Amino acid sequence: MPVPVKICGLTRPEAVAAAVAGGAAFVGFVFYPRSPRAVMPEVAGQLAAAVPKGVTKVGLFVDADDATIARVLAAVPLDLLQLHGHETPERVAAIRARFGVPVMKVLPVAEPGDVEAADRYAPAVDRLMFDSRPPRRPDALPGGNGLPFDWRLMAGRRWPVPWMLAGGLTPENVAEAVRLTGAEAVDVSSGVEDAPGVKNVGKIAAFLAAARAA
């Protein structure tokens, strides 16, 4: 069975079309102003209108307040909220209850204890995502930095909710990442770009093909 793929950080119609045509199970829109992949809610709403039923529309938020999330949801019919900041399990549960939309919490990973932190979040989420811990520099983003972590940290791990692997994935390494981690789904952003925020439709197609063959 093919590994479901999320193409994140979509900003242009041609990239959305390539993701859908290639069989992506998830498409992601970023609502974090500091990101080069950020889109305004109105733009994301237009992009989301081209996404067929059955493809999950994901909104990425970083420590967003309720007003911000509500403003986005008023413009974009999101199916999943991706929380990519320092949200506590309590905050995650509150967002899930407040908006009635499934939630995925992203956990940054650099060492075994980071993976074990997922146990605290599992009761409060519908999905988990494991991404590389951001580099220690002022301009580092919470995600989309193109850096993998030690995939062996994920070997044999299981949780009561589905989980997704992110961080430095490319068409060239996604099959190996799935083999080493047993990932149930994968997420890519920078690995299918020509520059931050500029998706390459050929790379999107190649990644989706590589994931199907994983």
Rounded Cα distance between 162 and 136, Å, is 29
Domain of 163 in residue numbering reads as: 5-213
As for how many domains the chain has, the answer is 1
**pLDDT at site 141:** 65
Contact yes or no for 197/160 (Cβ under 8 A): no
One of 131, 139, 187, 194 is an active-site residue; which one? Answer: 131
Rounded Cα distance between 189 and 179, Å, is 20
Is the overall model pTM greater than 0.85, yes or no? yes
**131 an active-site residue?**
yes
Q: Which helix (H) or strand (E) holds 208?
A: helix 201-213
Q: Which two tokens stand for residue 60?
A: 């990425």
Listing DSSP states for 26-90 in one string gives EEEEE--TTSTTB--HHHHHHHHTTSPTTSEEEEEESS--HHHHHHHHHHS--SEEEE-SS--HH
Beta-bridged to residue 56, according to DSSP, are: 26
Q: Which two tokens stand for residue 160?
A: 């009561």
Rounded Cα distance between 93 and 26, Å, is 22
Block means of pLDDT (10 residues each) for the chain, 214 residues, are 94 98 98 96 98 97 98 98 96 98 96 91 96 72 72 89 95 95 95 94 98 90
**119 an active-site residue?**
no
Report the CATH number that the domain containing residue 105 is assigned in CATH.
3.20.20.70
